[in-house]
Structure 1
Amino acid sequence: MVSGASAAAPPLIALTGVRKRYGGGSSGQPETEVLHGIDLEIRAGEFVAIVGQSGSGKSTLMNLLGGLDRPSAGHYRFEGRDVASLDPDALARLRREAFGFVFQGYHLIASETARENVELPALYAGLPPPARADRARALLARLGLADKTEHRPHQLSGGQQQRVAIARALMNGGRVLLADEPTGALDSASGAEVMALLHQLADEGHTIVLITHDRGVAEQAHRVVEIRDGRIVADGPGPGAASSTSAASAAAGGTQAATAPMPPGSPGPARAWHADLGEAARAAWRGMGRNRLRTGLTLLGIVIGVASVIVMLAVGEGARQRVVQQMGTLGTTIMYLGGSAPAEGGPPGRITDEDLSAIAGLPDVAHVMPVIGDPIPVRRGRLERQVYVFAAEWFMPRVHQWPLAQGRFYTEAEDRALTPLVVLGHRAKAHFFPGDPDPRGRQLLIGDSPFEVIGTLAERGAESGAQSYDDMVFIPYRAGRARVYRVQTQPDYTVVAAASPRQVAPAEAAIRRLLLARHGRADFEISNAAARLQAEAQTRRSMTMMLGLIAAVSLVVGGIGVMNVMLMTVRERLREIGIRMAVGARQRDVQRQFLTEAVLLTLAGGVAGVLAGGITGAVLVASGVPVVFSVRAMAGAFACALATGLVFGWAPARSASRLDPVVALAGD
C-alpha cells in the first residue's frame, strides 16, 4: 500500500484491458491468449509482488511491463506515455533509462567479467568508459563484491551472480526493478540475502516488481497481486506493507529514484561512434575466442582466398612483364612495309626512296629503315658459309631494341661514306671466330668485298620460327647496296617504327593514306607486328585477370564460410543478444556488434593472407618463377576481404538485431 500523497499521484505504470495472444494469423500456429484483460496500476516507490503458478501469465506480464514485449490489445502507459506506440529503438531507450531486470537464471554474459556485465546498461547509455567502470565497481562494492569485479560468472556462486545482476539493474539508476523469480535458483541463505537487498532498495525509493510463484517470498512485498490463468484475481497489501510508509513518502516527495543515480553530465542518445565501434570490436574479439578451432578454420578460408589472389596476380603479372620484355626486343612499335600486287591486278608496287622520305615526315613515325637481306656466301680464310647478310641503317639496334655485346655499331657518317664494316650476330661470331673472344679488327669476305668486324650483338634468338637473328651479319645499308647487293634497286622491305606503342595504329592509317595518295592504288602491304605483339600482351593481361578471378572464387567461398559461422554464432548466443536488448541495446547496437565480429574475422584473415601471399611469392622468386607483386593488388585483395566481411556478415547481423527479446532471452 502507499500513502495518500502517493496514491493521489499519477501512476508510474498503468495497464488497461491488456491482452496478450500468441500464434494465429500468418504464423500457422493456433492462437493462444495468455493474458485476458489485465488492469493494473503501480506507483513510484511501491514494492509489488506478482504471484502465480507456472503458466499463469506472470512472466508474460513482466515482459510487457519491461518493454520486452508488446500487448496484443489494451493500453500500457508508462508515466502517461503509451508504450505500445514506441518503435523498437524507443522501447530500448525506455528499458535502458527506466528499468533494471533481475532474472532467475542471472542472465550474465559468460565472456564478460562481473564489472563488464554491470557496465553493460551504461555502455548503451553512452557513459564514458572510466565513469562507467568506476560506477560499476562502486555498485559491486556496495553489494559486497568488491573483490570479485574481475571474476567471470563461472567463478562466482549463484548468490554472487544474482548480486551482480542486481548491480547491473541499478547501473542506469534502476527506477523500476523487475525481478523475475530472483530467488528461484538460490539456496535459502542466498535467497534471503537477495530479498534483503530488494527490501533495502525499496526503502531507498526504487519501484520493485517481484515476479514469483512462492507465496512466502511474495508476502515479503508491500503489495501482493495474484494472477491466475491470465487474470488478476487478488490485489492487496502484503504483510510487509507496514514498513512501506517511508518508501512511499520518499516516492511522493519526488521519487528518490536511485541509490546510485547516473553521474551528472552523462551523455544522452548521442554517442561517439568510435567508442561504440571499440566496444563492439572488444566484444567481437572475445566472441571469436570462444571457439578457436572454428574461428581458425574460417580464417583459413579467408587467408587462402587473399593469398591466392595476391600470388596469382603476382605470377600473372610477372609472366606478362617477362613476355613484354621479350617482345620489346622484337619491337612493340614496329610495322613492316613492302610492295605488293594490287587486288584489281597489275604490276606489283614499288616503294621508292621518295616514298620513304615522305613517310619519315609523318608525325606518328619515329624511324623509317629500309632493309636488304639475302643468304650469300661469307668467307674467312678457308671457312665459308651461306649467311643471311642484313643491310640496314645505322639506327637498327635502336629500332629493334637490340643491345651490343661487344664493340660498336656503324655510324650514320660511315653508312653515307659506304664504309665496309660488319657487326656479327651472336652465333655468327662463334661460326667464323671460334675460340676468339674479340674478333674486332678482323676481316670477313662478304660476296667478293672485304668487311671489317667492329662489334657483336647480344644473343637474341628467332622470331616466330624464322631464321635466327643470331646467325646473321649486319652491314651498312648504303655499303650493302654498293658493295654486295649491286643489282638491288629497292629495299626488300622497310621497317617503320611508330613514335610510341599508342601511335602504332594512327601511324599505320597515315601511311596508308599517304601511299594511296602517291600511288593511286593499294599496291603495298603493311604488316603490323606491333599490333600482334600488343595483342599478345593483352592476352597475357587477360590471362592474369582470369587467374585473379579464379583465385577470388576462393575468397568468396571463404566469405560464405564467414556467413555460415556468423549464423551459427547468432544461434549460439541468443541469450546474450536477449540480455543486451533487455539492458537497452538498440537494434543497430546488436547489428553493429555482429557485423564488427564478421569484419574483424575477415580483417585478421586479410592480414594473415597478405603475409602468406608475400611468403609464397618469396618462395616462388627463390625458385626462379617470375613474380611481380603489386601494392594495388595486395590492397585490393585486403579490401575485398573486408568487403567480404561486410557483405557476408550483414545478413547474420541483421538477423540478430531483429530477434524478439523475449525469444532471445529464452534461447539456449
Structure 2
Amino acid sequence: MSEALTRSEERAAAPRPPGEGLRPIVELVDVSRIYPNGESVVRALDRVSLAIQPGEFIAIMGQSGSGKSTLMNIIGCLDRASAGTYRVDGVDVKELGPDELAELRCSAFGFVFQRYNLLPSLTAAENVAIPAIYAGMGREAREERAHALLGRLGLGERSEHRPNQLSGGQQQRVSIARALMNAAPVILADEPTGALDSRSGEEVLALLGELNAEGHTVILITHDPDVAAHARRVVRFQDGRIVSDERREDEPSRTPLPGTGPARRGGLARFVPDLAEAVRMAIASMTANLFRTALTLLGIVIGVASVITMLAVGDGGKQSVLERISQIGTNLLIVRPGAPGIRTAGDNATLLPDDAEALKTIAGIEAIAPDRSGRYTMRYGSLDYFTTVTGTTPDYLAARDWALARGVMFTPADVRAYAPVTVLGQTVAQNLFGADDPIGRYVMVKNVPYEVIGVLAPRGANAFGQDQDDVALVPLSTGFVRVFGRQFLNSITIKVTEAGDIPGVEAAITRTLTERHQAEDFQVRNTAQFLETAMETQNTLTLVLGCVAAISLLVAGIGVMNIMLVSVTERTREIGIRMATGARMSNIMLQFNTEALVVCSVGGAVGVGLGLAAALGLEGMGVTIVLSLMPPLLAFACAFLTGLVFGYLPARKAAGLDPVVALAYE
C-alpha cells in the first residue's frame, strides 16, 4: 500500500507534457496516404496515429522517403489523407472544403520551409505580411506588425531588402517571421536548417525553442538527430509508420497559445481589401516583367485604337453623306422617266415638259423645276472646258435650295424668249475665268454664244461624290432648241411645302402622271429614300470596319490569355506559397483575373488615347471624322471584358492547383 502511494506521489511530482489534460491541437487516428504507382500503390503513410498537445515541441524524424514530409503536408492541411481521421483542435479536416482548409492554414499554422519559399519580387517585410493579407488585416496594421516581427528577429534594418540581398540564415528568419504573422498557434518547420550553415542553423533552432517557450506548438521535420535533439519529443518514422515516440522527462510546463488565430472578415469587408491587394499585386507583377507586359499591352492598344478610329471614320462618313444629301433639299421629290425598278440607259422620252405643267396643279407643292442635262464643251476665248449643261426653269434654285454668289437667275421671260443666257457653277467659272469676274462675259456652247448673267454659290460634292459645282444652267427652252435637240426631260424636281405632305403629294404625282401616260412609265423618289440607301451603305461599311477592329481585339485577348497561362506556369511555386499562407481559391482567382483586367484596362486607356490621336490626325489630313463619347467607352468596356473573359481560364487553372504540387514545382 505504501509502495503504491510512493509511486503515485512520484508521478505527481514528475514534470508533465505541456497541454496535458487539454484537447490535442493535432490528432491523427489511423491515417494513411496512398499514391497510385502504375498497377501498384505506394503507402507514404500507413495507419499512423499521433496526438500532439498544445505547447509541445515535437520532432518528426526519419530518413528521406520515410513519410515525414507527407505527414507534415497532411498536418498543415496542404494534402488530404487517403484514409483515417485527422482533427485540428477537434475539427475533423475531412469535412472541410478547399476554402475552409485555407481558413485553417491561415489561422492555425505557420510554415517554415527548408528552401525559405520567399517571393523574390517582394521585400522582406512584404513577404512577412503575406499571411495577414489573407487574414483581412489592414495594410497599415500588417506593415507595422511585419516590421515589428523582423525587428524582434534582428532584421529590422533589412526589412526593405529583397530575398536575394539576404543570407540564408536571414531568409529563414524572414520565413519564421512570416509564420508568426497571424499569431498561428502551430509552427510547422520542414527541415528548417537543411540549407543553412551550422551557426545559422543553431540560431534558427534556438529561435524555435524561444517560440515554443512562449506557447507555440512547434512541429519540426528533420532527418538529423542533432536537430531533433532540440525538441522535447521525438517521433521516428520508417516506411510510413511510427517506430518510436520518445519524450524528454525534463520538459518544463508552459501555457499554450489559443487553438486558433485571428478570424477573417467576410462579405464586402473581405472583398474590398482583397481586390485592392489584388490590384497592387497585379501592378507589381506588371512592373516586374515590363517587356512582356509591353508586348501584351500592344495587342490591346492596337485593338482599342482601331475600334475608336474606325468608328470615328465611319460616323464621319455617315455625317458627310447626310450633309451632302441635305444640300440637295429635304422636302424633295424627284420624278424620273422609266418604269419603277428598271434602270434606263441613254435617252428616255416618257417624261415631257407638259407633265411638269400638269403637276403644278397639285396642292402642297412649293416649287417645281423640270430639267434636261448633257455633257458639252464650253469655250471662253481659247479655253475649253467639258461640263454639264442643264436646261431648267427659274424655280430650279428654289427647288434645290441653291443660292447665287453673284449676278441674277434667268427669268420666265428669258425662258419664253429662248434667251441665250447662262448661270455658271463655281467649278466652271474658275476653270474658264479664274479670278476674273465672268458676269457680262460670253461663252460658247455648240458655237452659240451665251451671256453669263450669274454664278451659283459653291455646293461641293453630292452624296455620290459628284461635283455639284461643275454645271452651267440655261433656260429650258433655249436648251431644247440650241443644245439638246429633242424636247423631253431627264427629271422633274419638286419641293413640297411641308415634310408631312410628302406621302400625299407623291401619291397625287403618281396618280396624275399615270392618268396622263396611261402607264406607270416613271419613277418617283424622295430624298429620304436617297438618305436611307446612303445610310445603309455607310452603316455596312462602319460595321465592316468595326468587325476588323473587333477581330484585332479578339486576337489581343487570346494573347493575354496565353501570357497569363505562361505566367501561371512560371509562378506555380508562388501560388503554392500563397495557398500555404492562407490564400483561398477565390484569392488566387481574384489575383490572376485582376492581373488580366489591369493589363487590359491599362491597354484600353492607352488605346483610347492613341485612337483619339489617330482620329484627329486623319481629320488633319482631310478625312471627315466624328468623335463622340460612346466609341471610347465602348472600346474601353470591350478591353475590360476581354481581360475578364480571357483572364478567367488562367485564373481558374491557378486556383485549381494542388498546394503540395505547387510548392514542389521547380
User: TM class by shorter-chain length?
Assistant: 0.7 to 0.9
Gapped runs of 5+ residues in structure 2?
1-13, 342-349
User: How far apart, CA to CA, are the structure 2 residues paired with 1:269 and 1:96?
Assistant: 17
Q: Which moved more, 1:602-611 or 1:81-90?
A: 602-611
What is residue 16 of structure 1 aligned with on the other side?
A: 29
What is residue 470 of structure 1 aligned with on the other side?
A: 470
User: How far apart, CA to CA, are the structure 1 residues paired with 2:598 and 2:148?
Assistant: 33
User: How far apart, CA to CA, are the structure 2 residues paired with 1:83 and 1:292?
Assistant: 42
What is residue 168 of structure 1 aligned with on the other side?
A: 178
What is residue 62 of structure 1 aligned with on the other side?
A: 72
Residue 390 in 1 paired to residue 391 in 2? yes
User: How far apart, CA to CA, are the structure 1 residues paired with 2:240 and 2:118?
Assistant: 29
> Which among 553, 556, 572 is matched to residue 555 of structure 1?
553
What is residue 525 of structure 1 aligned with on the other side?
A: 522
> Which among 140, 153, 156 is matched to residue 163 of structure 2?
153
Superposition CA RMSD, Å = 4.5
Q: Which moved more, 1:533-542 or 1:113-122?
A: 533-542
User: How far apart, CA to CA, are the structure 2 residues paired with 1:387 and 1:658?
Assistant: 75
**Which whole-Å deviations, capped at 9, do the CAs of 1:314-352 have from their partners, x for residues lacking one?**
344444444554454445764422577899xxx989746
Aligned residue identity for 1:392: T
> Which among 494, 504, 523 is matched to residue 492 of structure 2?
494
Q: CA deviation at 1:54?
A: 0.6
CA contact (8 A) 2:89 2:259 kept: no
CA contact (8 A) 1:371 1:495 kept: yes
Q: CA deviation at 1:93?
A: 0.5
Q: CA deviation at 1:189?
A: 0.9
Residue 589 in 1 paired to residue 587 in 2? yes
Q: CA deviation at 1:471?
A: 3.8
What is residue 292 of structure 1 aligned with on the other side?
A: 290
What is residue 400 of structure 2 aligned with on the other side?
A: 400
CA contact (8 A) 1:15 1:39 kept: yes
CA separation of 1:126/1:373 partners in 2, compared to 1, >3 Å: closer, same or farther? Answer: same
CA separation of 1:81/1:634 partners in 2, compared to 1, >3 Å: closer, same or farther? Answer: same
Residue 566 in 1 paired to residue 564 in 2? yes
What is residue 9 of structure 2 aligned with on the other side?
A: none
Residue 132 in 1 paired to residue 142 in 2? yes
CA separation of 1:333/1:658 partners in 2, compared to 1, >3 Å: closer, same or farther? Answer: farther
User: How far apart, CA to CA, are the structure 2 residues paired with 1:499 and 1:652?
Assistant: 65
**Which whole-Å deviations, capped at 9, do the CAs of 1:276-303 have from their partners, x for residues lacking one?**
2221112112212333222222222222
Residue 638 in 1 paired to residue 636 in 2? yes
Q: What SS is found at the alignment partner of 1:242?
A: coil
Q: What SS is found at the alignment partner of 2:196?
A: coil
What is residue 5 of structure 2 aligned with on the other side?
A: none
Q: CA deviation at 1:123?
A: 0.8
What is residue 453 of structure 1 aligned with on the other side?
A: 453
User: How far apart, CA to CA, are the structure 2 residues paired with 1:18 and 1:593?
Assistant: 34
CA separation of 1:105/1:388 partners in 2, compared to 1, >3 Å: closer, same or farther? Answer: closer
CA separation of 1:153/1:353 partners in 2, compared to 1, >3 Å: closer, same or farther? Answer: same
> Which among 207, 210, 229 is matched to residue 217 of structure 2?
207
CA contact (8 A) 1:205 1:257 kept: no
**Which whole-Å deviations, capped at 9, do the CAs of 1:165-197 have from their partners, x for residues lacking one?**
111111111211111111111111111111111
Aligned residue identity for 1:124: Y
Aligned residue identity for 2:243: V
CA separation of 1:551/1:290 partners in 2, compared to 1, >3 Å: closer, same or farther? Answer: same
User: How far apart, CA to CA, are the structure 2 residues paired with 1:215 and 1:492?
Assistant: 111
User: How far apart, CA to CA, are the structure 1 residues paired with 2:538 and 2:463?
Assistant: 18
Residue 425 in 1 paired to residue 425 in 2? yes
What is residue 369 of structure 2 aligned with on the other side?
A: 370
Aligned residue identity for 1:391: T
User: How far apart, CA to CA, are the structure 1 residues paired with 2:332 and 2:464?
Assistant: 15
What is residue 10 of structure 2 aligned with on the other side?
A: none
CA contact (8 A) 2:324 2:461 kept: no
CA contact (8 A) 1:143 1:163 kept: yes
Residue 605 in 1 paired to residue 603 in 2? yes
Q: What SS is found at the alignment partner of 1:336?
A: strand
User: How far apart, CA to CA, are the structure 2 residues paired with 1:322 and 1:465?
Assistant: 10
Q: What SS is found at the alignment partner of 1:243?
A: coil
Q: CA deviation at 1:462?
A: 9.1
Q: What SS is found at the alignment partner of 1:225?
A: strand
Q: Which moved more, 1:125-134 or 1:287-296?
A: 287-296
CA contact (8 A) 1:95 1:584 kept: yes
Q: What SS is found at the alignment partner of 1:523?
A: coil
Q: CA deviation at 1:446?
A: 12
What is residue 185 of structure 1 aligned with on the other side?
A: 195
Q: What SS is found at the alignment partner of 1:371?
A: strand
Q: What SS is found at the alignment partner of 2:269?
A: coil
CA contact (8 A) 1:206 1:257 kept: no
CA contact (8 A) 2:339 2:521 kept: yes
Q: Which moved more, 1:214-223 or 1:518-527?
A: 518-527
Gapped runs of 5+ residues in structure 1?
none
Q: CA deviation at 1:470?
A: 3.5
Alignment of 1:259-270 (within 5 A): 267=265
Q: CA deviation at 1:8?
A: 2.1
**Which whole-Å deviations, capped at 9, do the CAs of 1:121-162 have from their partners, x for residues lacking one?**
111111111111111111111111111111111111111111
Q: CA deviation at 1:517?
A: 9.2
Residue 278 in 1 paired to residue 286 in 2? no
User: How far apart, CA to CA, are the structure 2 residues paired with 1:133 and 1:377?
Assistant: 88
What is residue 119 of structure 1 aligned with on the other side?
A: 129
User: How far apart, CA to CA, are the structure 2 residues paired with 1:467 and 1:135?
Assistant: 78
Q: What SS is found at the alignment partner of 1:472?
A: strand
Q: Which moved more, 1:140-149 or 1:292-301?
A: 292-301
CA separation of 1:651/1:384 partners in 2, compared to 1, >3 Å: closer, same or farther? Answer: closer
CA contact (8 A) 1:173 1:257 kept: no
CA contact (8 A) 1:49 1:209 kept: yes
Residue 86 in 1 paired to residue 87 in 2? no
User: How far apart, CA to CA, are the structure 2 residues paired with 1:296 and 1:500?
Assistant: 59
Q: Which moved more, 1:298-307 or 1:208-217?
A: 298-307
User: How far apart, CA to CA, are the structure 2 residues paired with 1:503 and 1:8?
Assistant: 100
What is residue 310 of structure 1 aligned with on the other side?
A: 308
Aligned residue identity for 1:137: H
Q: What SS is found at the alignment partner of 2:23?
A: coil
Q: CA deviation at 1:407?
A: 4.5
What is residue 241 of structure 2 aligned with on the other side?
A: 231
Residue 222 in 1 paired to residue 238 in 2? no
Q: CA deviation at 1:274?
A: 3.2
CA contact (8 A) 2:444 2:450 kept: yes
User: How far apart, CA to CA, are the structure 2 residues paired with 1:491 and 1:645?
Assistant: 62
> Which among 235, 250, 254 is matched to residue 242 of structure 1?
250
Q: CA deviation at 1:649?
A: 1.2
TM-score, with length taken from structure 2: 0.82
CA contact (8 A) 2:394 2:409 kept: no
Q: What SS is found at the alignment partner of 1:184?
A: coil
User: How far apart, CA to CA, are the structure 1 residues paired with 2:522 and 2:305?
Assistant: 49
User: How far apart, CA to CA, are the structure 1 residues paired with 2:501 and 2:89?
Assistant: 80
Q: CA deviation at 1:463?
A: 9.4
Aligned residue identity for 1:66: G
What is residue 575 of structure 2 aligned with on the other side?
A: 577
User: How far apart, CA to CA, are the structure 1 residues paired with 2:202 and 2:430?
Assistant: 106
User: How far apart, CA to CA, are the structure 2 residues paired with 1:278 and 1:623?
Assistant: 44
User: How far apart, CA to CA, are the structure 2 residues paired with 1:9 and 1:426?
Assistant: 105
Aligned residue identity for 2:114: Q
What is residue 3 of structure 2 aligned with on the other side?
A: none
User: How far apart, CA to CA, are the structure 2 residues paired with 1:234 and 1:206?
Assistant: 24
User: How far apart, CA to CA, are the structure 1 residues paired with 2:524 and 2:647?
Assistant: 55
**Which whole-Å deviations, capped at 9, do the CAs of 1:28-74 have from their partners, x for residues lacking one?**
78532211111111111111111111111111111111111111111
